[in-house]
Amino acid sequence: MRFLHTSDWHLGRSFHRVSLLGAQRAFLDHLVATARSERVDAVLVAGDVYDRAVPPLSAVDLFDEALNRLADLGVPTVMISGNHDSARRLGVGAGLMGRAGIHLRTDPAGCGRPVLLPDEHGEVAVYGLPYLEPALVRQEFGAEQADHTAVLTAAMDRVRADLAGRPAGTRAVVLAHAFVTGAAPCDSERDITAGGVQAVPAEVFDGVHYAALGHLHGCQTVSDRVRYSGSPLAYSFSEEHHRKSMWLVTLGADGEVTADRLDTPVPRRLARLRGRFDDLLGNPAHDRHTDAWVEATLTDPYRPHEPMAALAKRFPHILSLAFEPDTGDEDRAASYAQRLRGRTDGQIAEDFVAHVRGQGPDHDERAVLSEAFDAVRADAARTEGD
């Protein structure tokens, strides 16, 4: 059996101010074309189909179109809900869609009921475990604790129990949306810490031949049998060096796994540039980034005049600009709360001005700040007296 493993489409998500709908459409074109050309037996989507619980209509339309194209292709598709999806909304019509070969698994109660896909060697049992929010499903699974390891272990116990009742040699695949210990996160996943921890050991997936994971946006191999496909597109600048892809997995007669990494289309490269304003504008080494989506961090001690407008002339696709003056004397290790401790509002405001501009307020500016604070305090006192 050959199947495509993908996840974290985040339909409806944008990248800074740029809509990614066109790029997401191009990815889905690529997915359908690949499913056809590679003659796969199934497509597995491991959660975060949408970016949010109530996605924009354009994303819903795109999803609907993708489902129709996969159904037309006659390739069975198994999808689970991720932590960004509303399981209830995504699961509407799941029973009907199942008849068309699109199997949406969004209900925790269905963890132990596989989609059975036959090939020339027998049946493959595909179990879709939707993202399990520990506090919400703990009771359902009779888990001892409201943490990820406890509920996922309980869900996998149902998988193993079901599998034990099937003919010997039945191969098993699991879809799950989780953070496995040792895997690498990036900036575009939402924190799922519960009970103090967010990660589960890979051993929770023991007993199945392949675990198709979602949640982390970097493609990675935890073990031969436990993999993340990662998101098909970069959703933060922290993914500048990610190679976005899907896994094409071949499951042999005895459950042996071969996985090939297939690249997904890149709408535009990402570049994180850091340095002095003059360098970013003048250094020919940056020529290769003029067509990229750019995040620039200026390290000048003084904030330049209208830097975004100037940078946009050289980098027309610049999306983000930050200032980190390398003044050298700042204690960067101190937390925000620590740095505020024992200082007056006025001192904090003055330091804020110095931080963003590289130079503290002058005499006149200090007077403006002081006036503003006085006005606020007076206003507050008046309200209290009401």
Q: CB nearer to Mn ion: give 8 or 239.
A: 8
Q: Looking only at Cα atoms, what is the longest distance across the chain?
A: 84
Contact region with Mn ion (CB under 5 A), list: 1-9, 65-73, 303-311, 359-367: 1-9
Strand partners, 274: 297
Q: Among the candidate windows 2-10, 105-113, 134-142, 356-364, which touches Mn ion by CB under 5 A?
A: 2-10
- CA dihedral (300, 306, 310, 311) in degrees, to 10, reads 60
- Pick the closer one to Mn ion by CB: 8 or 147: 8
Whether residue 45 contacts residue 79, with contact meaning beta carbons closer than 8 Å, is answered with yes
For residues 93 and 91, what is the distance between their CA atoms, to the nearest angstrom? 6
Tokens 């750019």 appear where? Answer: 294
At a CB cut-off of 8 Å and minimum separation 6, what does 33 contact? none
Question: Minimum CB separation from Mn ion for residue 311, in Å?
Answer: 30
Shortest Å distance, C-beta 232 to Mn ion: 11
Nearer to Mn ion, 85 or 300 (CB): 85
85 binds Mn ion (CB under 5 A): no
User: Which of 8, 41, 239, 295 forms a contact with Mn ion (CB under 5 A)?
Assistant: 8
In 3D, which of 212, 231, 216 has the Cα closest to residue 182?
216
**Residue 237 Cβ vs Mn ion, minimum distance, rounded to whole Å:** 16
CB 205 within 8 A of CB 166: no
Closest among 108, 38, 37, 93 to 63, alpha carbons compared: 93
Q: Judge contact between 81 and 41, C-beta under 8 A.
A: no
Nearer to Mn ion, 88 or 190 (CB): 190
Nearest residue to Mn ion on Cβ basis: 48
3 state SS of 74: coil
Beta bridge partners of 374: none
Residue with tokens 């060096």: 241
Cβ at position 48, least distance to Mn ion in Å? 4
CB 286 to Mn ion: min, Å? 31
Instruction: Of 312, 316, 355, give the one whose Cα is nearest residue 336.
Output: 355
- Pick between residue 81 and residue 170 the one whose CB is nearest to Mn ion: 81
The interface mask with Mn ion, positions 22-51, x = CB under 5 A, is --------------------------x---
Q: Which is nearer to Mn ion, 101 or 218 (CB)?
A: 218
Which amino acid is present at 236? S
* Distance in Å, CB of 371 to Mn ion, minimum: 47
| Number of residues binding to Mn ion, judged by CB under 5 A | 2
- Nearer to Mn ion by C-beta: 48 or 147? 48
Q: Which stretch binds Mn ion (CB under 5 A): 8-16, 102-110, 243-251, 371-379?
A: 8-16
User: Tokens for 267?
Assistant: 């709408």
Site of interaction with Mn ion (CB under 5 A) = 8, 48
